[in-house]
Amino acid sequence: MKKNISFVSHLGVIDKSLTADDLKMAFLWYDEIVWENLRVDLIDRFYDNFFEKNKLPNQYQKDFTDVLIPLSKRIKLENIPDRQQIGYPRNYNSSKYYHYPNPSTPEEYAHNFLLRQAENQYNVNIIEDKAVQAVEGWARSAIDNIVRWEFISQEFPSYFLANQIEKDARLALSEFNNKNGKTSPIILFKESIPSLEKVPWFSIIELKRKGRFDSLKKKMERILILSDNDLESARITLEREEITSYDEIIEQFRPKIKSTSIEAVLSNIPTGPIPNPISIYSGGKSIYKEINKGIKYNWLYQLRDIKSHIAKSELNK
């Protein structure tokens, strides 16, 4: 079976700029999360720090390491292109000129885009002094991470689980190349449930042990297709289907005393050595209903399980 894989750069994991909410959602959604370890000797340190910080009992640690896989176990690190280390676009000996005047590559365009984002974030017209080097360093690293992920995805296709600056960099690179990105189902998943941040990791792992969430993934993929890849439209459609499905389940359990009584009487009529056909039919119908219910509503049960864990965590705060 083809694995559903996500990739996390060193910025996302080692520098801890990826939120706990994002990481927990990815853990539930993907079969593997391949994280970029810049050196092999960082692997044990990362796991030890994570287990200690999150107080994860021993019986859950293997579940975690089975999903979070170091990049060096999937591809030789020396085969990955070196980081570009794009130089600063200086025209003068001043920190005020940090934009490329006429960006000719996606990387230059993304650099300008991210620096403008920083100006807006800090509410300034110009970023000055040492702050320029810090912001440009983050921008350069984010752009490099996208380029490296594109190379890695040729070896094994994966979804880039990006932090915010990497998301902005990817958006800018796509704008320059005039590409309309396809919305990943995990984005709809994230929009459809409350934050997982307060749910303890052992609860996340127990949810993962229940299954691969295949029904939920297929449901969200189908809704995105029917919604023409429009996230807000897909979110509303999923919400409506959730309500409709709950109504259908409640309706199925509405008492039907008359038809049930008749069926019960007929199924108990003695027929000698020949099995009562009504009894066989009644039993077969019940089994068919249960199978059909599982096929039709499994996605809803999976979504409900996740929301229930979130609700319990909120009550236990």
Neighbouring-strand partners of residue 35? 8, 70
- pLDDT tens profile 44-81: 888 888 888 888 999 999 999 999 999 999 988 888 87
Q: What is the pLDDT of residues 195-221, one digit of tens each?
A: 998 899 999 999 998 877 888 999 999
Range of the domain at 306: 214-315
- Compute φ and ψ for 160, nearest 5 degrees: -85, 110
Classify residue 113: in a domain, yes or no.
no
Residue 259 counted as domain residue: yes
| Helix/strand/coil for 7 | strand
Q: For residue 58, what are the contacts with CB-CB under 8 A and spacing of at least 6?
A: none
Residues 6 or more apart in contact with residue 252 via CB below 8 angstroms: 293
Distance CA 98, CA 110 (A): 13
Instruction: Quote the CA–CA distance of 158 and 34 in Å, as a whole number.
Output: 9
Q: Per the domain annotation, does 146 fall within a domain?
A: no
- pLDDT (mean) for 220-239: 92
**CA dihedral sign, ordered 160, 166, 172, 177:** negative
Query: In this structure, is residue 53 part of a structural domain?
Result: no
Mean pLDDT of 184-202: 90
Burial 154-167 (b: 16+ CB within 10 A, else e): eeeebbbbbbebbe
- Residue 15 lies inside a defined structural domain of this protein: no
> What integer is the mean pLDDT of 3-11?
89
**Rounded average pLDDT over 260-265:** 50
**Is 34 within a domain?**
no
Domain membership flag for residue 71: no
- Which range among 106-120, 189-203, 289-303 shows the weakest confidence by mean pLDDT? 289-303
In DSSP terms, which residues pair with 32 in a beta bridge?
5
Please report which confidence band the pLDDT of residue 280 belongs to, taking 50, 70 and 90 as the band edges.
very low
> Total structural domains in the chain?
1
